[in-house]
Chain A
């Protein structure tokens, strides 16, 4: 069975997980097990539910129509049952994304929806809504000499001194075709994230080996009529509000009953890590300018 390290956790998986970095690990020692098995259509007594999911205690059932059902339990186990005609490759994208995000929440982790890059043991996280350009900016920063830490799921933990760190992902960067072309990364292009989709795994040139300290969080936003270009510090109340919004699948932890832990984690994080709003036009032509401005800003902290 292949083993992987994902967001700081060791994972044994019956499914091949393209884009995840294999790990030599003795059998039976993994933090998380991903297996094929029977997954019910519904949970008997869900305490909360949504259009694609049901939750009961520490178990969450996720249904992706025509693709697979996933049972994510106790922050340890992910069981997968493919729908007829679906492929392992397609299902794996939802194991690495949503299922892992939910599992990390079950473990009480602080998970941001964003990418992170590092240099000399210090990291920044780049957050923003889907399509904001997080991965593209992270790729451009890596091309500029920074180390890749994580993409999509950014898990924040604490070191022995209580300082925030970001766990190296163990998964590769994911980029749309246009970004690959614009950043001239065709040589590093790997498998598509999902068959027939124009989004691909990219082999990073250098990856952070250990968990770097998280020194700043930048929230990417598009410049507009009322939002001027630049980098602006967020006030503490704004930062707390945005931290909630930038979490991976906001609202889920509150449903799991982790609101108090969330507030405690936010307070610890914001004691060490500054939060900024990075406003720029979404345009490949100014990507290099954004990289320069961001690096200069980070250096000045």
Chain B
């Protein structure tokens, strides 16, 4: 496999619990080739997360604890500009921040830093169930974060979180911030489509990112990143990125599992807040509906 000569970052963007980690493990397996399946705790990935406090401090040399969250946001734009300038070849960078602008009007993620963005989106009702496990909280609290237009992660409390403050803007705000911005060409991938036909979904995302890979290489990486394999590894050795105290990170990964978990009120709370966007993305808000609108039938949803 050869890397494209064009420099630049590809943002691997998503709200939480929308398939970002699975995508990263797929990429690590793609890079590993026949040496896979890779150890999920040692991905040796060129992907890192945009909001890493440690990397911010290494790049700026500043103590992030002595800067306000807004000061940090101003500097982050420059951090990615420098990183993009230094990057030799294609580099996927995971990001959970919504696509926002600094007070000076600069994109948080810098201008002309990325060649493309791949945006992963998942039915918010499934996100809510997974998010509650991830944050060790109740489903209601998870829904509250998803419904909060000013919601954020890693906000300054009493000490310092390992990640910088990440504005989420609620689930709808997050999705539209990425899909509607015009700075970076964005390719939307629905998690449900990726699960149903990974070869097509991963293949299209790689083509959009101008990352060449053969069908055979993609198929092998998909096999090596199969959920059964990820669950096997996690049950044997654990997964460093798991935050839930009770549930494994790789639970079922199933689409539509929310029907067995959410109460009617919880589903309604999500649908009331995000209905218009859910319908635009092919997640029908009629709870009795049992199927997703295929991506090919979508209009105007990228």
A residues whose Cβ falls under 8 Å from a Cβ of B: 49-53, 62, 64-66, 93-94, 97-98, 101-102, 129-131, 152, 176-179, 193-194, 197-199, 224-227, 249-252
Contact = CB atoms under 8 A, between A and B. Distances in A.
B66 A197 contact: yes
Contacts of B54: 129-130
Interface in B45-99: 53-54, 57-67, 71, 74-75, 78-79, 81-82
A242 B41 CA distance: 18
Nearest to B244: A225
B208 interface: no
Given A93-B63, A93-B66, A94-B66, 9 more contacts: A51-B59, A62-B61, A98-B62, A129-B53, A130-B63, A130-B65, A224-B240, A225-B240, A225-B242
B61 A65 contact: no
A65 B62 CA distance: 11
Given A50-B82, A53-B61, A129-B162, A65 B53 contact: no
15 contacts: A51-B59, A51-B79, A51-B81, A52-B61, A94-B62, A94-B66, A98-B61, A129-B162, A130-B53, A176-B158, A179-B158, A224-B240, A224-B242, A225-B239, A252-B61
Interface residues of B, number: 33
A178 B159 contact: yes
B41 to A, nearest CB: 5
B62 A131 contact: no
A249 B75 contact: no
Given A131-B53, A131-B161, A198-B158, A66 B239 contact: no
B261 to A, nearest CB: 23
A130 B58 contact: no
A102 B61 contact: yes
Nearest to A101: B61
Contacts of A130: 53-54, 57, 63-65, 160
B70 to A, nearest CB: 10
B238 interface: yes
Contacts of B63: 93-94, 97-98, 130, 152
B66 A97 contact: yes
B242 A251 contact: no
Contact of A249 (B57, B74, B82): B57
A251 B63 CA distance: 15
A12 to B, nearest CB: 23
B161 to A, nearest CB: 6
Contacts of B238: 225-226
B75 A51 contact: yes
Contact of A194 (B53, B66, B75, B157): B66
Nearest to B64: A130
A226 B62 CA distance: 30
Contacts of B71: 65-66
Contacts of B249: 225
A152 B66 CA distance: 13
A178 B62 CA distance: 22
Contact of A51 (B82, B159, B239): B82
Q: Which 6 A-B pairs have the closest CB atoms?
A: A178-B158, A131-B160, A51-B78, A225-B238, A225-B242, A226-B240
A101 B82 CA distance: 22
B58 to A, nearest CB: 6
A152 B160 CA distance: 15
B250 to A, nearest CB: 12
A226 B233 CA distance: 12
